[in-house]
Structure 1
Amino acid sequence: MIRDYDILMLPVLTRDGEMIGFVSETDALNLMAESHETMMRQLVKVAEDDDNLPPHKTALTRLPWLLVAVVLNLLIAGTLTSYEGLLSTFVGLVLFQPMILGMAGNIGTQSMGVTILSLHSGEIKIRKHFGRELLIGLLNSFASGVVGFGIVFLFLTILGQDNALMYAAVVGLSLMCAMIISSLAGVLTPIILLAVKLDEKAASGPLITTINDFFALQIYFLIATLLFTVL
């Protein structure tokens, strides 16, 4: 109410209507800051008393999610071996891996953060939220793909690289597809976890980041295989 109606303070009343105090704007801001800090700690799986724990205990509380990420990254490494021939022939593909992974991770984190905050606000309408985030993801993915195509083409053309147009097409299409899928994953993952009564806040930790990396790389190399070796 303080935020919605621009009120400086609210009275605190008993059931009989007797005023026993008030909540000021500062009190509300402090409560919001504390709630935000708690949410951020939960999002990254850090305990509330993390700052007061000995370093070795803090490390142990964070280790499980990191180990999950290690295992999933091993799976990613295993899948990359199937593209050794492609990478040895078209070495330039390695240059743009960080771009694909970074952009997919960024849009996935954005969608997931907005979804988790909306879920906890109690004001979310899942179908409307999904449609809105899908549209935003499509627009951002398309724009990023077009810009990525142009930048890669210009960069490789200046360097005198052969197949500059093909590399640019691979990067542009991969950005579009990977970012759309990551955006959808960012929206659906916390909703699904909440529906099955699991901790949806765990979704934004190393687990979801690694999953996004996996799908982004698969999309990137599948599109590269299609454009370079099939067409």
Structure 2
Amino acid sequence: MAERDPVDLIKDQLNRWEELADLHPDNELFKQWHIETRTILEKAFSPKSTHVQNFLALRFREVNVKAFASPEISRINSARYKRDLENAKNILQSAIKELTLDRTLFKKIQTTPKMVEVSLKGQYFISSGIADPEMRSAIQSAFEGNELTPMKDSEVPRKEESLEHRMDRIRRARFGIYHLSSPEREDVLFEIGIALGMGKKVTIIYKKGTRLPGMIRKLTGIEYGNLSELTEKLKREMG
């Protein structure tokens, strides 16, 4: 498991908030998010902390007995789900605020902020232009030992894929890997724009010697000379 800054981890969970809005408590994506968020809060603070207890107090549904299922119950449960999802957002924002204040104190007393060990799950998006099996294998090798897998490609060629479908795959991914040395660079830049607009984490990879647009240089970038180097640098970046 990798050690990560708890502020970054909580921000990642917040960035997934919008994709959860139209789901329900039994959806696998929501359940995964809930477990991960609880784990992060418990490790960043403690199981008995106010943030954790407030998060655990959220029920995300009003009625839990399936025997009472009806359109009216579904409406009530949906309203409770959305309300508690908003409450969860406020809890996470409060947690970030506390950790940020603590960090200011850490700087004053020259102490290293606490890191937390986590095991991330889910899928990541691979941009247009990464069709070479060897490159895909190099990327996947960087995540061996984690429970992160590449998002399954569309059944149609990428160039024939609808904009809505591509946006949906970017939205459902935890993060994306975007190759800017690809012949399909224009498509990749477009995908990066979509991801940034959704608040998704963007990791750029490019071969040595590739010239990057000025604004793109501000994003997390991995320059590589060969595929082995790409794998190792991805491991360090994601670890």
Q: Above 0.5 in TM-score?
A: no
Q: Which TM-score tier does this pair reach, normalised by the shorter chain?
A: under 0.3
- Structure scoring higher RCO (CA < 8 A, sep ≥ 6) equals 1
Find the structure with the greater CA-based Rg.
Answer: 1
Q: More helix by proportion, 1 or 2?
A: 1
